[in-house]
Amino acid sequence: MISSEPVVGVCPPIVEYNREEQALVATEIENLPEDAVIIDWLADYSLLREQASTCGS
């Protein structure tokens, strides 16, 4: 059986990106078409990063 309860004490590592990388990615995202699927995927990734950052709190 699989539980939907969070596993305490097991938090994924959060990769840190420097400002230059962040600026480059922001520029690349701005140049994507509005209907690019990757934009939704990046939003999901952003949420996962936020959840991982509060995981150990």
> How sure is the predictor about 1, in pLDDT bands with cuts at 50, 70 and 90?
low
Closest-CA residue to 57 (of 5, 17, 7, 9): 9
d(CA 3, CA 22): 36
In the chain, which ranges are continuous DSSP H helix? 19-30, 37-55
28-52: pLDDT as tens digits: 999 999 999 999 999 999 999 999 8
Residues 8-23: what's their mean pLDDT? 88
Kindly give, in sequence order, each residue whose CB lies less than 8 Å from that of residue 17, ignoring residues fewer than 6 positions away: 25
Question: pLDDT averaged over the chain?
Answer: 88
Query: Against a cut of 0.85, is the pTM above it?
Result: no
- The pLDDT confidence band at residue 27, using thresholds 50, 70 and 90, is very high
